[in-house]
Structure 1
Amino acid sequence: MKTNNSNILNYRIIGNGCPVIFLHGFLECNTMWNNLIPHLKNMRIYAIELPGHGKSRLTSTTLSLPKIALAVHETIQHLGLTHFSILGHSLGGYVALSLAKIQTEGIENIVLLNSHPWADSESKKKDRDRAAKVVAYNKNLFLKEAIPKLYYQPHLFETKINALIEEAYEMDNLAIIQTLMAMRDRGNCLDVLKNGKHKITIIQGEYDTLIPINKTLQMAEETQTPIHVIEGIGHMAHHEATQQLAKILNRIFELHAR
């Protein structure tokens, strides 16, 4: 569903129960949750598509994490939600933490799924720049290289990988490049975990090549952030460990609802 307001993002609403905002990752859209949703209980899910992804148009000529978070914030206001939790996968987690800086009240729980609070390192920023150049030159090449690497055992998920590539190919080149630049230039959000204003939980894949597990475990200990490590998976927990992830999420939100 969309409105005429250019800053209101596309969304769909599923189920009944405690309100949870679902924010997908880079190159994804609302369909990323399709495997997971049937296993979730007692949640009213508001799955929002980020700018330039799915049916949401770009909300600005140049994207930034604060601008993306603001568009999500305005969409949540449009939905009339005053208290809610957030599940953010990868980029969606970055957006959730950025949103927590804008909206200090009303966010009851944030779950970082295959995500983290750190800014890009200098080497990662260079990787983003190189990726943007490849997208401009040959988007399909970029997608075929980037998406399989998200899985620990990509040969087991060829059908899903091909579907993701086909979906992502429909994205405008500018949207992909602008989102890459927004991730490259985002700030550090570790303070959101440290200040204790929000309940935050981390769900991490044991073999997620994008997020160092040892660094994540150390950060979780230092900030006293609950963490669930799912063994034998990479960056795509919703595909690689659907039922295990659902059990963790059901426990998190059941405890919160009490």
Structure 2
Amino acid sequence: MQEFISYKNIQIAFTAEGKGKTIVLLHGFLESSSIWKHLTLELKKTHRVVTIDLLGHGNTEKLGYIHSMETMAEVVHAVLFHLKIKKFSLIGHSMGGYVALAFAEKFPQQLEKLILLNSSPVADSEERKQNRDRAKRLVKQNKKAFISMAIKNLFTDENRNALRPKINTLVEEATQIPEENIIAAIEGLKNRKDRTKVLQQYKGEKVIISGKNDPVVPFQEIKEIAEQAHSNFIAFEDGHMSYLENREELGEKLITLFS
């Protein structure tokens, strides 16, 4: 069941289940902590599992006109401080990985494992920044059409058909996010800094999990980054949404990592 803390006069939603060492799960753009339900069921058998709705997503409110990765990392820190948890592992999907890296930069001593799922330490290119600005305009013109296109394009063609009911649920949930919240997240994504050195310098265990056909995170690029950062690297065959496209494999890999 979700709980809430007050942070800078807004409500932050989170869940905390199970006992043992703590694993914190951070969702991506246009998602919420609901994406982790299946994984939480498994991990909470042996661990304490914390999921957080990041700023402007799920049941967490908006905070200002831009939701920077640094601000979201501070929100994560506030939730863990509230729960009196000093050491934990972080798993971040896509935008959640960017937040995890911002956390690793600010509070490295609190992390045991850093796991990037379909994510990268690389900042947006100029072309990508222009695409973000285009996305903001699309959100204002037709929010639902933007969300539908943005989410469906993250899957391989094959999985877009095979996982249609689950994709429709993701789209339906994302359409509940207010327009201004989406724009605040896009601004944060566009302006995030490159954290390749943060990943390289992080001394704890680090794992990068990637899809060979990920349309957002170029596979060869992230594989090379993992090698340079001395990160454990796990590859799946599918796209950007490994928690759905490779659900069983991902669960098995994570159970092994945390056993």
**Given the two structures, how large is their TM-score scaled by the length of structure 1?**
0.94
1:39 matched to 2:45: no
Q: Which residue of 2 aligns with 1:157?
A: 163
Q: What CA RMSD, in Å, does the superposition of the two structures yield over aligned residues?
A: 1.3
Matches within 5 A, 1:203-242: 203-231=209-237, 233-242=238-247
Q: Which residue of 1 aligns with 2:177?
A: 171
Alpha-carbon distance in 2 for matches of 1:20, 1:59: 25
| 1:68/1:95 contact within 8 Å kept | yes
Check 1:176–1:212 CA distance in 2 against 1; reply closer, same or farther (3 A cut).
same
| 1:8/1:74 contact within 8 Å kept | no
Give the one of 73, 77, 84 matched to 1:73.
77
Matches within 5 A, 1:49-88: 49-88=53-92
Q: Deviations over 1:183-238 (max 9, x none)?
A: 0000001112211423210011111110111111111112211100012x101111
| 2:53/2:59 contact within 8 Å kept | yes
Alpha-carbon distance in 2 for matches of 1:77, 1:155: 42
| 1:20/1:85 contact within 8 Å kept | yes
Matches within 5 A, 1:87-102: 87-102=91-106
Check 1:220–1:146 CA distance in 2 against 1; reply closer, same or farther (3 A cut).
same
Alpha-carbon distance in 1 for matches of 2:58, 2:173: 8
Q: Which runs of 4+ in 1 moved over 6 A?
A: none
Q: Deviations over 1:5-24 (max 9, x none)?
A: 33662101122222011100
1:182 matched to 2:188: yes
Work out the percentage of aligned pairs sharing the same amino acid.
34
Stretches of structure 2 that go unaligned for 5 or more consecutive residues are: none
Check 1:8–1:113 CA distance in 2 against 1; reply closer, same or farther (3 A cut).
same
Q: Which residue of 2 aligns with 1:30?
A: 33
Q: Which amino acid is 1:148 matched to?
A: K
Stretches of structure 1 that go unaligned for 5 or more consecutive residues are: none
Check 1:62–1:196 CA distance in 2 against 1; reply closer, same or farther (3 A cut).
closer
Alpha-carbon distance in 2 for matches of 1:196, 1:71: 21
Q: Which amino acid is 2:244 matched to?
A: H
| 2:94/2:119 contact within 8 Å kept | yes
Count of aligned pairs between the two proteins: 253
1:126 matched to 2:130: yes
